[in-house]
Amino acid sequence: MRTPVVEEYRKRLQEATYYGEGPAALSVERCTELLCELGQSAPIMLVIDALDECDSQQRTILQQSLEEMRQSCRDLVKMFVSSRYEEDIATGFRHKRTLCVTPRDTEDDLKHFIDLHVSRFVSRWAVLHSEASDKLQQLEKSLKETLNTGAQGMFLWVSLQLECISDTSRVKDLESIYEALESLPATLGRSYAAIHCRIESMKETAREVARFTFYWLLGAKRMLPIPDFLIAVARSAKCLSNLQPRTIIDYCCGLVVIDNETNTFRLAHPTVRE
């Protein structure tokens, strides 16, 4: 850890000990100053992913801080910022070097994603059902064509449709798969509405687990480790048995995923929160 950070921590720890409190959090202004100080000894690359996930007030403050760093220590701190398109963000970066990624740019990646996950789905289906190879080949072809046509650059949309088709409580044969393909929701919003209906149609325990999972993810003051999160949801939903991580994933129908880096649950995409 570099010297300016250590010194700042020791200073705040000393002040906190005197007052019997925990070390005070850094202000945005002090963070900006520290980054420039750190850049004096070695160049810094600052990476900010998904700026659009900050609320408008927070990202305005953050953008102002980035601009201050650019002006005062531009040769010391390099910045990379990613975001979905938002008018205020686009305006703030209009004079900066930007790269716009369109669905066409990710077309090959999306096709590979669909091919991979459809092949896995068909392989699982073949293990559970006695289907002729020609029918399985036609199923794989139909799935890939339908998903490639409807995706419009959205990886999450593809994942949600495959999750829906994998619902064994509703999809039990090839006919039901083809029926589902004919009525896939065209947008993420409609996909979320369909998933909400699925959750509401579950038995009471499953429905309550899903509901309190969303409550805790949206309302908790901090991210809970998976074991603590499972206990919190189980108590809130008054479950008689212990919950498993896979249970949370299944009951939330693809809207919640596990973040292996932080050992927590999180929403599958910012649009789920919206």
**Same domain as 161, residue 88:** no
Tokens of 39: 């850049």
Burial of 253 (0-12, 13-18, 19+ CB in 10 A): buried
**Same domain as 215, residue 172:** no
DSSP designation for 23: P
Across all residues in the chain, what is the average pLDDT?
89
Is the whole-model pTM more than 0.75? Answer: no
**Same domain as 232, residue 172:** no
Tokens of 217: 């993810």
Tokens of 4: 């300016």
Residue type, 165: I
Q: Tens digits of per-residue pLDDT, 90-113?
A: 888 888 889 988 878 889 999 999
Q: Please report whether residue 54 resides in a domain.
A: yes
User: In terms of pLDDT, which residue wins out, 81 or 130?
Assistant: 81
**Same domain as 83, residue 135:** no
**Same domain as 115, residue 89:** no
**Structure confidence at residue 204 (pLDDT):** 94
Q: Please report whether residue 8 resides in a domain.
A: yes
CA atoms within 13 A on the CB side of 206: 14
Name which of 152, 145, 212, 149 is nearest 188 in CA terms. Answer: 152
Question: Which range is least confidently modeled, 30-39, 116-125, 140-149?
Answer: 30-39
**Same domain as 166, residue 115:** yes
Is 90 exceeded by the pLDDT of residue 12? no
Name which of 80, 84, 79 is nearest 50 in CA terms. Answer: 84
Strand-pair partners of 46: 79
**Is there a contact between 28 and 61 (Cβ–Cβ < 8 Å)?**
yes
In Å, how far from its chain's centre is CA 241?
Answer: 28
Of 40, 68, 93, the one marking the end of a domain is 93
Tokens of 189: 């919003």
**Structure confidence at residue 139 (pLDDT):** 94
The pairing of strands 44-48 and 256-259 is unpaired
Q: Please report whether residue 163 resides in a domain.
A: yes
What percent of the chain has a predicted confidence (pLDDT) above 90?
44
Instruction: Domain count for the chain, please give it.
Output: 3
Is 90 exceeded by the pLDDT of residue 146? yes
Q: Tens digits of per-residue pLDDT, 186-238?
A: 888 899 999 999 999 999 999 999 999 999 999 988 889 999 999 999 999 99
Beta strands in 196-246 (DSSP E): none
